[in-house]
Amino acid sequence: MRRTKLQRHNAVTAYLFLTPAILGLLFLTILPTLGVIGISLTDWSGLEPPAFIGLANYLEIFTSDFYFQSSVVATLYFAVGAVLTGIVYSFCMALMLNQPLPGRGVWRSILFLPYIVPVIGSSIVWSWMYEANFGVFNYVLNLLGFDKIQWLQDERMAMPSIILMMVWMSGNLIVIFLAGLQGVPKTYLEAVEVDGGNFWHKFRHVTVPMMSPVIFYNFLMSLIANLQVFVPAYAMTKGGPSDSTLFMVYLIYREGFMRNNFGHASALSVLFFLFIAALTAFIFATSRFWTFYQSE
Amino acid sequence: MVHCRRWFLVCLVIAMIAVSATAFAAKTEITYMAWYNTTESEAADIQKTLDKFNASHDGIHVTLIAVSRADYETKLNTMAAAKQLPDTCMMAEPMTIRYAAAGLLADVGDMYKPDERPLKSLAFTYKGKTVGYSCANEVLLLYYNKKLFDAAKLPYPPASADKAWTWKQFVEVAKKLTKDKNGKTPNDPGFDAKNIVTYGADFNRLSWMWPVLAVSNGGGVMSPDGQKLLLGTPQTVQALQAIADLYLKDKVAPSIGDKNNMPSLDVTLLTGKVAMATSGQWEIGVSLKNSLKDGLQYGVGVLPRMKKAVTYNTGGPFVVFNSSKNLPAAKTFVRWISDEDNGWDLITGGIWMPVSAKWYASDEAIRKWADNPVHPPYAQYKTAVVDYAMNNAVQVPWYYFPSFDKLNDLIDSGMDQVWNGKLTAKQYITRILPRVKRLFEENRPK
């Protein structure tokens, strides 16, 4: 079927508008990704020309990388910890802010504010607050008669301390939950009341099912974002103590840019990319078992 | 006639332009990369030094590339990968031999006249070639708060290597100086180790610093030629455990967590938080001088020894890159900036010690830079620092071993377990040794 002149004209216009996006995708995403895959097959320090070594970098990661295992543990610990606590905290805050509180707008602003502070700034300020001798947290503990805590120096405490900071920063989740809560039909809630149900019944049988797509969205997006955490390790702990906060992205950065192992770092990047893609696909594939859509 | 004069003027202008263009073109352009630590005003100070060079050299113009210290390695590595290296730079010690092994650093062995040559101990060498000299001579020392010693009626730590304390003597003194909130020492019954007000000793546990005690004990991380790994030797394990025991058993040192949260050395000494602490010579200018006005009375001594009296020497080098299109100009600049006259304020300010042998050649030469109010009393400084540096210093392995930082990362990755007593030094070293051996063999200069 031949296109009309108008259709051809529209197609050209559409392609013209799409061109910047396509070029951006090509040069800033697709080509660098292919480049990383290519570099991952080489032994390249950045100081000498790369030498093709096939899959040796991948083999090395699983057989003799000193940090891979602890990095996987740290990354998963952080991602799961930050996502679960972040979702619970945000959901609770959203439920609270959905009530007719006095000064509700102010509370909403206060809880959203941390999200718009750059992570690097928050990390530096929080590392001051966590400071063992002069930090505000230990000052309060001291006033209450407790021993001081080595927030960022103790390998058991460093990760929970970072998770706490990241949860504090999850104002975006609160806003999304809040929007979702305002979309829960009041008629359903009133129906539960008519049947003699209390707050818990409304929450368990109406709010949570109706909110499940929003919970799913927040869960997925924060999981992907938290798996790629970098700044707190860079600004607060440098991966320590004892590699307890050696997140995968920080390890990739350190191996590539500080230790001149670009080939190895690229192989780690490719594996990490595949892991996140597989995890996302798995979550999407199973989402129908735990989300509810009104249209169903 | 008018026509002729006009032609003459035109020719004159053209000639002047040609001459100045030639003069301009004759300037050789080179770039120098350096870091600033905390504020960009440091970069302005470096620029002032370069301005002096540019003003005094007609044929060379140096442009500064100033980079934050935190991003320095990343920036340099990225520039190397992109083949955009500067002509010269200041380099972090652990990177130097890795760059040399990749063939990126120029041989600077021929750069100095015999009477200008820096000390041999400051040469970074790879396969017999000198690829850089430290910009300053730095050694590890023992600093102490005099008032605390006076109050405890204890003699000051020895200021000369031949009288260096044994480890046992050091610990005994540290115990007498350690005080809990009730004024009790670890030797007293009822000593409250959880509420220590003054720690007697803080032997620096930084990954590259603690092995100096192992060297003193006949061990270390590796042999001075970089060919033999010494980390697993009983001497190294014993030294490591001795340092850990300062906190774990002797109760004279802060935990590693407390240590990491302590303020700068001058403040810890001034406030009596620590009575003795080991660190580098640079502390005199970087930290200690800041608290003199507040009444800090400190002294400097030599490190305690296990067998022989030894200290580490170090200092980041100036290097010239082989990729420079103007190698002679780059070397001229590095020779100039290495000259003590151009870093005099840093030297007399206590941050650096000179690099050239001539500044150590006579008492008169040493007095010129070391006998001033910033430095400790000259007699003490001369034996505890200068003579110690000249006679008892050995190089940190990054002077000759490629990728010492990778080895350091690996050794240090779980070291907190030793410092916190979860593992003994022997258990920890035994655990990591196979991996360290492999990394060592991969990087050993062959």
**Contact indicator for B126, B445 with CB cutoff of 8 Å:** yes
Give residue B44's pLDDT. 84
Distance from the B106 Cα atom to the nearest Cα atom in chain A, whole angstroms: 14
Asked whether the ipTM of the predicted complex exceeds the cut of 0.90, the reply is no
pLDDT band at B414 (very low <50, low <70, confident <90, very high): confident
* Interchain contact, B104 vs A47, CB within 8 Å: yes
Give me B80's structure tokens: 């190397």
Instruction: Give the CATH number of domain A69-288; options: 3.30.1330.90, 3.20.20.70, 1.20.200.10, 1.10.3720.10.
Output: 1.10.3720.10
**Contact indicator for B91, B75 with CB cutoff of 8 Å:** no
| B33-65 confidence digits (pLDDT tens) | 999 876 667 788 889 889 999 999 989 999 999
pLDDT at residue A161 greater than cutoff 60: yes
| B189-233 confidence digits (pLDDT tens) | 999 998 899 999 999 999 999 999 999 999 999 999 999 999 999
| B147-156 confidence digits (pLDDT tens) | 999 999 999 9
Q: Considering only the beta carbons, identify the residue of A46, A66, A242 that sits closest to B77.
A: A46
| B99-152 confidence digits (pLDDT tens) | 999 999 999 988 888 778 899 999 999 999 999 999 999 999 999 999 999 999
Please give the C-alpha separations between residue B40 and each of A222, A232, B44, B68, B91, in angstroms, as whole numbers: 36, 24, 7, 8, 18
Cβ neighbors of A270 (< 8 A, separation 6 or more) are A36, A37, A40, A58
pLDDT at residue B270 greater than cutoff 80: yes
pLDDT band at B10 (very low <50, low <70, confident <90, very high): low
Q: Which residue is closest to A127 within chain B, CA to CA?
A: B261
Residues of chain B with Cβ-Cβ distance to A257 below 8 Å are 73-74, 77-78
pLDDT at residue B418 greater than cutoff 90: yes
> Which of A156, A260, A262, A264 to mutate to test binding with chain B, by most B CBs within 10 Å of its CB?
A260
Give residue B11's pLDDT. 61
pLDDT at residue B238 greater than cutoff 80: yes
Q: Between these two residues, A72 and B19, which has the higher pLDDT value?
A: A72
pLDDT band at B14 (very low <50, low <70, confident <90, very high): low
**Contact indicator for B424, B241 with CB cutoff of 8 Å:** yes
| A238-255 confidence digits (pLDDT tens) | 898 888 999 999 999 999
pLDDT at residue A230 greater than cutoff 60: yes
Where are the domains positioned within chain B?
28-137+315-389, 139-312+414-443
| A41-61 confidence digits (pLDDT tens) | 999 999 999 999 999 999 999
CATH number of B28-137+315-389: 3.40.190.10
Domain B139-312+414-443 annotated CATH 3.40.190.10: yes
* Interchain contact, A260 vs B410, CB within 8 Å: no
> Which of B261, B409, B415 to mutate to test binding with chain A, by most A CBs within 10 Å of its CB?
B261
Among A288-292, B58-62, B231-235, B426-430, name the one with the lowest average pLDDT. A288-292
* Interchain contact, A66 vs B414, CB within 8 Å: no
pLDDT band at B15 (very low <50, low <70, confident <90, very high): low
Q: Between these two residues, B41 and B439, which has the higher pLDDT value?
A: B439
Where are the domains positioned within chain A?
69-288
